[in-house]
Structure 1
Amino acid sequence: MLFITGPLYSGKRTYAQKFGGRQIYEVQTRAADAADLAVLADELAACDVVTATEVGGGVVPIDPADRAAREAAGRLACLLAARADCVVQMFCGLPTVLKGELPEC
């Protein structure tokens, strides 16, 4: 599985589409409602490409539910990165490989 993460509008989806296969985008939104993040990570890892927006680099939300959702999204990203064959961080449309090697396009 290729896991692509980075800030909003950093080019994650455009970059991911080069690789084809079964893809799922913006999975951080699923974390808040997940009963078990490890089970969710296992399900998502069955896809070829998974993208998630980095949510930890901004102002901490004042609302407790929003803080919990942000925490869950970060934990899910950690679980996905652990399961991934390759992890890429996108920033300003530039990919940086953090783990593994990129699959053939």
Structure 2
Amino acid sequence: MMLITGPLWSGKRAFACRVLGCTPEELSSRAVWDAQDLAADCENLEALAEELSAREVVLMTEVGAGVVPADPAQRASREAAGRLACLLAARADCVVRVFCGLPLVLKGECAL
């Protein structure tokens, strides 16, 4: 599994399409995106990470940028997203951060 992470609207989906050789319309059958949203209400992040790691590609938007929200629910959601990202990165063969459309391999060897 390849984990692609980066800020919102940084080019993650376009990069995934390029790596997979698919169109944006075909992407949903080969990848899951917005994985950070799945973490928000999840009671078992380990099980979610295991389920997602069976996909070819997982896209996850970095949230928060270090800003700690005052709302407890938002803090818990961001913490869950961060923990899920760590679990997925540990399972991934390749981790790529995309920023301004530019991929940076963080883990493994990826055919870019």
Instruction: Name the TM-score, length of structure 1 as normaliser.
Output: 0.93
In the other structure, the counterpart of 2:36 is: 28
Residue 94 in structure 1 maps to residue 105 in structure 2:
no
Question: CA RMSD, aligned part only?
Answer: 1.4
In the other structure, the counterpart of 2:80 is: 72
1:25 and 1:50 in contact (8 A); partners too = yes
Equivalent position amino acid for 2:18 in 1: K
Equivalent position amino acid for 1:83 in 2: R
4+ runs of 1 displaced by more than 4 Å? none
Aligned length: 104
Q: Flag the structure with higher helix content.
A: 2
1:45-80 deviation line (CA, Å, top 9, x unaligned): 000000000114142111000000000000000000
Instruction: Name the TM-score, length of structure 2 as normaliser.
Output: 0.87
Equivalent position amino acid for 1:15 in 2: F
Residue 19 in structure 1 maps to residue 27 in structure 2:
no
Q: Which moved more, 1:47-56 or 1:63-72?
A: 47-56
Any stretches of 5+ residues in structure 1 without a counterpart? none
